[in-house]
Homo-oligomer: A and B are copies of this chain.
């Protein structure tokens, strides 16, 4: 019997809200249970462990990038960045889920599909997709860390004026992506 009528969807939606409001370190099964007014043990009805729950959140985050066939690598990478930025710590949720061998392969699939339509073989396309995925996750991870430190007032912008910050604007993202796509074309 499902606990107190909460569906798996209820649990995931509440977890996403806690993630966005408080960040990944504060998304505990205990806090989630309190928000749903159930015992922590009741959550395991839907998600046998926290990793399984995070994989569901990861799939929901990445799922925002899907819309029609994937035909352009740059567009897919931008859509992935936008999806990750939708929720606080989105890059960390998705990266850790992939590292666990969990979650859907939607991001990799869409990136690879957009390389295949340009004529690459499937193996090469998946490796290029992985390169782009690592770049996007690394970039957005950095962006989201900065956002978090900025909101906490913890960044030390004045302490090292001589140390140029690591580029992390939308323009820098587009630039990096262009370099990778140019490399793809150069190899083709």
User: A101-B160, A134-B142 known; A127 and B176 CB under 8 Å?
Assistant: yes
Near B by CB (< 8 A), chain A positions 128-168 give 128, 130-131, 133-139, 141-142, 145-146, 149, 154-157, 159-160, 163-168
User: A156-B100, A186-B186 known; A137 and B141 CB under 8 Å?
Assistant: yes
- Describe A's contact surface by its main secondary structure: helix
Cβ of A182 under 8 Å from chain B: yes
Cβ of A105 under 8 Å from chain B: yes
- By the criterion of a CB under 8 Å from any partner CB, how many residues of chain A are at the interface? 54
Question: In the complex, are the beta carbons of B131 and A101 less than 8 A apart?
Answer: no
Question: In the complex, are the beta carbons of A131 and B127 less than 8 A apart?
Answer: no
A141 to B140, CA, bound (A): 13
Cβ of A4 under 8 Å from chain B: no
Question: In the complex, are the beta carbons of A149 and B182 less than 8 A apart?
Answer: no
A159 to B166, CA, bound (A): 38
Near B by CB (< 8 A), chain A positions 101-117 give 101-105, 108
* Contact code string A5-22 (vs B, CB < 8 Å = 1, else 0): 000000000000000000
A34 to B50, CA, bound (A): 31
CB distance from A126 to the nearest CB of B (A): 7
What 9 pairs across the A-B complex have the smallest Cβ distances? Answer: A138-B138, A183-B183, A131-B176, A99-B145, A182-B183, A130-B167, A179-B183, A186-B186, A134-B138
Q: Identify the A interface with B (CB < 8 A).
A: 51, 95-96, 98-105, 108, 126-128, 130-131, 133-139, 141-142, 145-146, 149, 154-157, 159-160, 163-168, 172, 175-176, 178-187
